[in-house]
Chain A
Amino acid sequence: MASNKKYWKSVEELKENSSIVDTLRQNEFVEEIPTDVFLGDKENLEASSTTRRDFLKYVGFTTAAASLAACEGPVVKSIPYVIKPDDIIPGVAEYYATTMADGFDLANVLVKVREGRPIKIEPNKEANGTTNARVQASVLSLYDSLRLKSPKANGTDISWADADLQIISKLNEVKESGLPIAVLTGTCASPSTKKLINNLGETFGTVNHVVYDAVSESAALDAFEAIYGSRALPDYHLEKAEVIVSIGADFLGDWQGGGFDSGYAKGRVPNQGKMSHHIQIESNMTLSGANADKRLMVKPSEQNLALIKLYQAVVKGISTREASPLNDAIQKAATKIKKAGSKAVVITGIQDKNAQLLALAINNAINSEVIDVVVTKNVRKGNDADVAQLITDMNAGKIGAVIINSSNPVYSLPNSTEFVEGLKKVKLSVAFTMQDNETANAVQYALATPHYLESWGDVVIKKGQYSLMQPTIKPLFNTRQFQDALLTWTGSTATYYDFLKETWNTEVLNGTSWNQALHDGVFTSEVVGEVSALEVDVDAAGSELAKIKGSNFELALYTKVGLGDGQMANNPWLQEFPDPITRTSWDNYLTISKADAETIGVVNYNVANGALNGSLVELTVNGVSETLPVFIQPGQAKGSLGLALGYGRTQGLKDEMKTGKNGYQFYKNFNNFQADVTLKVVEGEHEFACVQLQNTLMGRGDIIKEATLEEYNTIDSKEWNKVPMVSLDHNEVEATTVDLWESFDRSMGHHFNLSIDLNACTGCGACVIACHAENNVPVVGKDEIRRSRDMHWLRIDRYYSHEEDFAGDVETKENGTGVLGYKNTMSDLEDPSENPSVAFQPVMCQHCNHAPCETVCPVAATSHGRQGQNQMAYNRCVGTRYCANNCPYKVRRFNWFEYPENDNFDYNMNDDLGKMVLNPDVTVRSRGVMEKCSMCIQMTQATILKAKKEGRPVNTNEFETACSNACSTNAMVFGDINHKEDTVTSLTEDKRAYHLLEHIGTKPNVVYHVKVRNTQEA
């Protein structure tokens, strides 16, 4: 039944008799030690002047020298403050509420500060803040050693005073010439900044504020403006939805600024027998598609058709006569939507105003409760037409000055050469930038700005929700905020802080306390009012949309959960973060369906050590060509290609981070769907850093359990959440009842458990980065990842299974007879280009009560704690790696190099500035030790100590780990099962709860919850 489903992680696994998969299953450390190379070569050995005797002498000498050198301890200096700030206690972390707003990610966050150093970003839960991988990683960008460190004029350093003088005189010249000043910013949701830009206009004549998003949502904004009269984005309360139909919208990724996952997950956990039904119609395999109950693969141009048909079926009641899988599915979706009525929602990611109008019209027609058009979002404000106009005007000499803030148009504009030409024609070009990036090098004045953790600011993410940004560290470099510069240029002597406070006191706070707002990080005022829809000719929009022609191959551009729009490309955590779908890091690539790959003759194959290589193709879109590697992606719509934006940066980042190719050059008219695509196979191959085949569970069963909602509601849980049986005294008994070991009494004190709900986990990966930040996990680089030496303590496994839907899968399985029959059936149906269903599973150390690793350690470096944690004493470990061999979950990571002291790893840990992000409560591991998830023992101990100091019991749900804290969907819940009120206690007793590889009797302290899919159609 359910749990017999075959899962696979890579196309390679589906090949019969694949030697690589076999090898990987048999042998975890694939590469042999190349002893033959240096011992087999007799001539070389004999020619060597070093005899064995000499060698031993050297060894003896170095050992003696090393031990002698160790005798003299260094003198350690302790330098206290001269005047200690009142609120700092060395060794105690402070938390500050602030807001991240870099134009792409906007989030209410808490910043953990140790001795004045921000070291971690956490969601500000009191302000309903959530974090994604990029927000979590943003703290490392603060310590980016390649940041722009002082203002520059034409590439040479200049003082702020000189820069001000020169710029003001030029601005006055521009004012006299009567030409307008263009201020080009990313999405600017800051009321005080807008005010300052207006002030600039009052001082220097006309100011033209152009808002530019590298990844545009302009179409959605235009459509919303057309119907509801304001240029904003509607909010979606997906927790209210019973039916979600998404056409090309990766709302669990970065669509419309993201952040929909927590609401979505609430509706996805079966609660009183109910969960939402999610239909995804898309080209690339996205996070949303991977989480959908029903996924349809269509080319981008067909998405338009699908939307039109859905509109006709739902709003007009017209059904198409031709029968095709797509039409069938649309009909079924339409029926579902009608049935759910106001509890349904249709969203689309098609970058076309007409498409967006259709979606809004459908929601309007069904009177959807899910869409919120009153409390709108300000996360994207970019206007494509304005940007295009600006470039034209610049080239026509109609612009006097260009001031750019928090934007890198020279890199991210598809027509960046035109923009650069235009820059040369304006009198004054200024860029406020944190990085010494492409734009900084193309303008006359590159003015260094502080990171958001060093800045003041305000953001209105949602209507009525005013967030404050406050500095958590003194500026590291000679930087100044955009707003402070505007104040200086407009002749004000006030600082931006004064201005901000003044603005808030007069316009926002309404008499309430500024300090309270600063403490909370957010001030919420109630939004009242009705918004009525204007009359728009939607039918005409539909017919307009229908005119868009497809082509043989179509390109769908997307952003990755890791790198996003590419602002943080110099962040090694994000570069090494494996894409949740492809499990590939350090790269972007062209995803292609298997069928298309076979047609044009490109391949992906695994080399001997399991690393993935791929063919290269030359992609030409609208006359722009680029050579790209191909990645064969199961679930990619035939005829479509996917390419991630945000890669291929060339300036202001370390060589290691210059990964991938720039996708923005194909992003014509800011449209993520591009037709007119040609492919040409070129010579050569590309090496991917893909972790998908590595660290698998070696073919052991019972890893992922699934059930349909129907089964969940109607059948006894023992059927779909089977407890594996083992033989005891020749009787079959449940594996959980058999115990090889004597157990401790665990009823006293704390006993920690981590619960992971496979239904709620969307695979977003915020936990992975949170774990990096909390536990000083090193970055190892692309080459090491290819050698399976990734150090992630927490990985998110992604499993594909074959059938389009769950029922079909079971059917196939049951029709196949015996092992051979099963295998044959599988190979018949196993076409990875067909639509696989996907499951995500975060796996970290399972903290087994009966841990196999503990029993084999020759030096007792890993042992079990009474609180349920499997403890790793690094200073005791001698690196036999026996524990890793014996771990059935493959969660132990061997530290091959001393990453912080090795110049070959030029990442944050080898950099004086980058080291400032390290958590001082966690050891930085040395070479030759095994490391793994500690269940954040430093956090649990800190919580216990806090309670002890305050002389009280630990509060309910007070225990947290980095991953559970970062999880915005509540998929990960941590707590003490001896504390009955903790949420985790009831979760471990849930009927969906199971342990990984239960049959081996390891009794883990990590509990998983069976994934339930709502497969019922119509």
Chain B
Amino acid sequence: MKSVKLHSQLSRLVVNSLVFLLLFSLNLSAQEGDAANGEKLFKSTCAACHKLDAKLVGPALKGVTERREQDWLISWIKDSPGMIKSGDKLAIQVFEENNKLPMTQNPQLSDQDIIDILEYTKGEPIASESESVAQEVDPGVERGKKIFKTNCAACHKLEGKLIGPPLLNIGDKYENEWLKLWIKDNVALIASGDKLAKTASEYSPIGMTPFPQLSDEDLDDLLKYLAVGDVKEVAASTATSAKDEEIFNKPGFGVLPTLALTILAFLILVIIVSLTINKKVVEGEESTGSMLKTLFFNPFLRFLAILFFLLLGAWLLFGWLMQIDLNEGYQPIQPIAFSHTVHAGDNKIDCQYCHSSAKNSKTSGIPSANVCMNCHKTITEYKGELFDGHTKEDLDNEIQKIYNAVGWDKDNLKYIEGAVEKPIEWVRIHNLADFAYYNHSQHVTVAGLECQKCHGPVETMHEVRQFSPLTMDWCITCHRETEVDLTENGYYKNIHDQLANKYGVEKVTEAQMGGLECGKCHY
């Protein structure tokens, strides 16, 4: 009989069992939603328009999964206008139900993200102490607000003077009919010798623009709005959040079975091993002492164990070392609670309005305070939805910080003479290593990339965080995948012709253009 050496048997055994172990340790819960992640995403993506338990701009989302199918929801969240266009009946119905306000598209969310969000919407406790105080609003006021924003807001504010006087409750001071005439054509009114008009015109040497295009109905709405002003948002109670956390901080559901299976696999492994060894004994191979003793003293097993721990140690150490100075998610507290959600998201200011050097320079540039003043000369207080636990006073103070920096007197609308300029010390979030050269204009102007490609959905971040890892791997992955458009830019014309002639190639990736060469970024 051919003798079988113990160690080869054992090694085979170990390999088999490792495979076995590996099989079991695979994560079996791929399609499970992660409510904690969902909560995070909900807060950053949806919370501007939705609440779980009450109507905000959009409908309350609690239990939405019971009302709609998951797949439908995924498509809806990703691209609701697309669905409406495609004629999906349900979609059109939802659209109509919600005052025909279209929902923002969220193509940046993956399916898993959406499943996470939906998971979160399930778990929300039903009862909430806070009652939504969404007031019934006269649609005329809404219209009036819109008219005010488009026509009047350049020179007037509701409260506080700008170029023109404050307009809130202007109806108390003047008759509505007179106001209508004044707004439509104040020049004519003054010319007609109206005394009131004359006094009004003395407010400022700058005459008011006439608005003959506004209909009487428009003006009625406008005046309604001016009588009511902005409806104050009633702050929703934050009491629910503590409860949310309690529920969702419980250990993930998918972990326990995996752990159990792993332990089970290990037990099976032990049994198999002991069985095999017992078999050896039966077969008459040399064996002294008990099975466990054999296991423990077996030099090959010990070697394997040591090797395993060494490799594990090295792997852990390597992993730990590799994350040094990786700052993905770095979200420092800035000197001003500047919200990109408010500026880039709600007000849709183009990124490059403020970061104007991105198209010309290697740096995108932090806007200087005089750029802030372009708008904040007139926007002296925050009237939007409150965020991150800031009160309105807090946020108005944040705007005041710009005035302090440039020396602006917001009440008299002029720069304070002799004021000392105080630069704002922002905390830099994206710190690329000094030895790596990166040029914004190359990517923004030449390649035409969206800022979000690297910086993530900044328009949804109140406080900006580092979205991308900024590792070399991340850079070159993109360079490998990105195809250069050779047809649009005159610079590439020659190369494009040569490629087409010589190789019949129409497209090349950035990497093929030499975008992976060390010297292109390190010099």
Partner-B contacts on A (CB < 8 A): 67, 70-71, 73, 75-84, 89-92, 747-749, 861, 863, 865-867, 869, 871-876, 921-924, 934, 937-938, 941, 944-945, 947-954
Contacts and interface: CB of A to CB of B under 8 A. Distances in A.
Interface string B428-460: 100101111101111001100000000000000
A921 B406 contact: no
B519 A937 contact: yes
B299 interface: no
Contacts of B519: 863, 865, 869, 871-873, 934, 937
A854 to B, nearest CB: 11
Nearest to A78: B428
8 contacts: A83-B368, A865-B514, A875-B433, A875-B436, A941-B520, A947-B491, A949-B445, A952-B490
Contacts of A945: 439, 441-442, 446
Interface stretch (B105-113, B139-147, B166-174, B493-501): B493-501
B491 A954 contact: yes
B216 to A, nearest CB: 46
A405 B406 CA distance: 41
A648 to B, nearest CB: 40
B332 interface: yes
Interface residues of B, number: 57
A92 B360 contact: yes
A609 B368 CA distance: 56
Contacts of A923: 434-435, 522-523
A89 B355 CA distance: 11
A73 B490 contact: no
A948 B442 contact: yes
Nearest to A944: B491
Given A75-B427, A921-B437, 11 more contacts: A82-B424, A90-B357, A91-B361, A91-B440, A749-B513, A863-B517, A871-B517, A872-B519, A934-B519, A950-B490, A953-B491
B60 interface: no
B370 A83 contact: yes
Nearest to A870: B519
A393 B493 CA distance: 75
Nearest to A71: B324
Nearest to A76: B428
A901 to B, nearest CB: 13
A866 B324 CA distance: 33
Contacts of A938: 437, 523
A80 B360 contact: no
B433 A867 contact: no
Contact of B423 (A82, A747, A861): A82
B425 interface: yes
Contact of B365 (A80, A922, A924, A944): A80
A285 B149 CA distance: 82
Given A865-B520, A875-B522, A75 B332 contact: yes
Contact of A948 (B365, B440, B489, B502): B489
B422 A76 contact: no
B183 interface: no
B187 to A, nearest CB: 37
A934 B522 CA distance: 11
Contacts of A872: 518-519, 523
A938 B423 CA distance: 31
Contact of B426 (A73, A80, A948): A80
B365 A90 contact: yes
A84 B435 contact: no
A872 B422 CA distance: 42
Contacts of A866: 514, 517
Which of B357, B423, B517 has its CB near the most chain A CB atoms (within 10 A)?
Answer: B517
B52 to A, nearest CB: 36
Nearest to B407: A82
Given A874-B522, A875-B522, A948-B489, A84 B442 contact: no
B426 A951 contact: no
B421 interface: yes
Contacts of A951: 488-491
B405 interface: yes
Contacts of B513: 749
B327 A78 contact: no
Contact of B367 (A76, A80, A921): A80
Contact of B441 (A867, A873, A949): A949
Contacts of B495: 748-749
B514 A80 contact: no
Contact of B427 (A78, A861, A865, A941): A78
B368 A80 contact: yes
Contact of B357 (A82, A92, A869): A92
B491 A79 contact: no
A80 B361 contact: no
Nearest to A871: B519
B362 interface: yes
Contact of B523 (A70, A78, A747, A934): A934
Nearest to B435: A875
Contact of A83 (B406, B426, B436, B517): B406
A876 B435 CA distance: 10
A953 B425 contact: no
B237 interface: no
Contacts of B499: 748
Nearest to A954: B491
Given A869-B519, A873-B518, A951-B489, A79 B427 contact: no
B522 to A, nearest CB: 4
Contacts of B426: 77-80
A934 B437 CA distance: 14
B369 interface: yes
Interface string B361-381: 111011111110000000000
B94 to A, nearest CB: 44
Nearest to A875: B435
A846 to B, nearest CB: 16
B318 to A, nearest CB: 13
Which of B360, B502, B513, B522 has its CB near the most chain A CB atoms (within 10 A)?
Answer: B522
A282 to B, nearest CB: 43
A981 to B, nearest CB: 12
Contacts of A876: 518, 522
Q: Which 8 A-B pairs have the closest CB atoms?
A: A871-B519, A91-B361, A84-B368, A81-B368, A873-B518, A82-B421, A76-B428, A80-B366
Which of B362, B406, B523 has its CB near the most chain A CB atoms (within 10 A)?
Answer: B523
B327 A90 contact: no
Contacts of A76: 427-428, 431
A80 B425 CA distance: 8
A77 B437 CA distance: 19
Nearest to B332: A75
A871 B518 contact: yes
